[in-house]
Amino acid sequence: MNLSGILVTAVPERCEEVAEALAALPGIEVHQKDPATGKIIVVQEAPTIKEEAVGARALQGIPGVIAVNMVYHYFAEDPMLDAFDASTAFAPPKIN
């Protein structure tokens, strides 16, 4: 699980519109917005770092967004993955 605190800066006149578009994206939760400055604080949750990066790029593509800055990142590993051994899981079967 990956959690990111992200500061999105939008054109102030489009702050509400941008916040609505952000909230519609999967894994994104809008926590605070300041229409006077165009600043919007969001939290993004993604299962992998790759999906987190794809999600952050999606934020940049929203019309009215000026900048996207990750200010906090947290990740926790799945305990089930600790028991997974990739070196043997994908090894060819032994032939007797």
DSSP labels for 32-96? Answer: EEETTTTEEEEEEEESSHHHHHHHHHHHHTSTTEEEEEEEEEEE---HHHHT--HHHHTSPPPP-
Residue 76's pLDDT is what?
73
Percent of the chain with pLDDT over 90: 55
Residue 8 pLDDT greater than 90, yes or no: yes
What the chain holds in terms of domains, given with CATH numbers, is 2-82 (3.30.70.920)
The CA-atom distances, in angstroms, between 79 and each of 1, 3, 28, 33 are 11, 17, 24, 35
pTM for the whole structure: 0.74
For residues 22 and 56, the answer to whether their CB atoms sit within 8 Å is no
Tell me if 44 sits within 8 A of 56, measured CB to CB.
yes
